[in-house]
Amino acid sequence: MDERRVALAALATMIWLGAGPVFSASPCSQEATKSYREGRRLFIGKEYGKAEQELRRAKNLCPGHALTLTYLGLALARGAASVPALQRKAKLDEARDLFQRALGLRPGLPRVNMAFGTLYMVGGDYASAEVKFQQAVSKLERLLEIVSNEQKRRAYGSLLRRARDGLQVARSLKTGMANELSEEELLLRFLPTKANERPRIPFKIQFAFDSPSLEPDGRKILDRVARVLSRPVFDGSVYEVGGHTDQCGDANYNQLLSEKRAKVVRKYLVTKGVPSSRLQARGYGKAAPLLKESKDCRAMTRAQKDADSVLAKNRRTEFTYLGGQ
């Protein structure tokens, strides 16, 4: 459960990696403004430790600025994913206090509602998270009705998409509906929880013997993967689609076959709405089998190779997180 909550913290924090307001018309000093902008830049660049230091400086110089408190809380929440449990709790508790102060200063600020939604999800209170994300969605929809400045409308529109995504996550976790929850499990598997981590997602697409074509079951799985990876929370994230073969046959032939499998999966996901920039295809041939049980392929018929459980598990594509762009 603890890993799940950390992954949710990462998810909800990633919602914030878009454009946002700065110190416009602020009573704070130029030095505070500079520190806030630098801290926000570092946060968007996923340098959470440095962002925390700069935003703390901005907070000390201008303790009444709601966005400084909000971004500092988010930097703490994201940084909590890569520290021991005791430190993680301290960071999340401080983030909660910062969000509470920010909400008191700016009760109408959508980003503060989203920040609170983040913390409620991390704590497992999905009903309260739903309320906070719904408040953010409603406020942003009202802003888009009255704001005419095109630049502000684009910024609010981008934030609204992220708020809606957070709302969807909170609702599906609250209701526990089978189909939605299974997609949320996929979502959590696709989100890295540690800095510089390159997790291999425990999620694979199988193929028939000597074939790069997708099977019906594989298409159904990829449809759900596409719905997950096309979400705004994955902006800037890149995943490798790695193709593999079984151990039967020529190495050069299997290398080409594995590349075809990877490209077929990537192409299918792109046609289903996943941005092509988020996916890289690579073939590994027969160099990285899941199961290394020896098989006398020359003594087996094609039908036997197709049915063999060991060979079948090695014919696959799988996903690996490569990091941000």
Same domain? For 306 and 237 the reply is yes
Task: Tell me, yes or no, whether 35 lies in a domain.
Answer: yes
Q: Does 185 reside within a domain?
A: no
Residue 102 lies in a domain: yes
What pTM was estimated for this model as a whole? Answer: 0.47
| Residue 239, domain CATH | 3.30.1330.60
Give the per-residue pLDDT at 255.
96
pLDDT higher than 90, residue 263: yes
Position 201 confidence tier, pLDDT thresholds 50, 70, 90: low
Q: Are residues 274 and 143 in the same domain?
A: no
d(CA 64, CA 101): 9
Q: Are residues 258 and 205 part of one domain?
A: yes
Residue 309, in any domain of the structure: yes
Is 53 a member of any domain? Answer: yes
170 and 26 belong to one structural domain: yes
pLDDT at 35: 92
Interval 3-26 mean pLDDT: 44
**How many domains are contained in the chain?**
2
Strands 237-244 and 279-283: parallel
Residue carrying structure tokens 């309260």: 128
Domain that holds residue 241: 199-324
Same-domain pairing of 278 and 142: no
Instruction: Assess if residue 183 is contained within a domain.
Output: no
The whole-number average pLDDT for the span 164-189 is 62
Within this chain, do residues 106 and 152 fall inside the same structural domain, yes or no? yes
* Average pLDDT taken over every residue of the chain: 79
Both 134 and 207 in one domain: the answer is no
CATH number of the domain to which 146 belongs = 1.25.40.10
Please tell me which residue, 311 or 88, carries the higher pLDDT value.
Answer: 311
Domain for residue 20, yes or no?
yes
Identify whether residues 304 and 169 lie together within a single domain: no
Dump pLDDT digits (tens) for 44-73.
Answer: 777 888 999 999 999 999 988 888 888 898
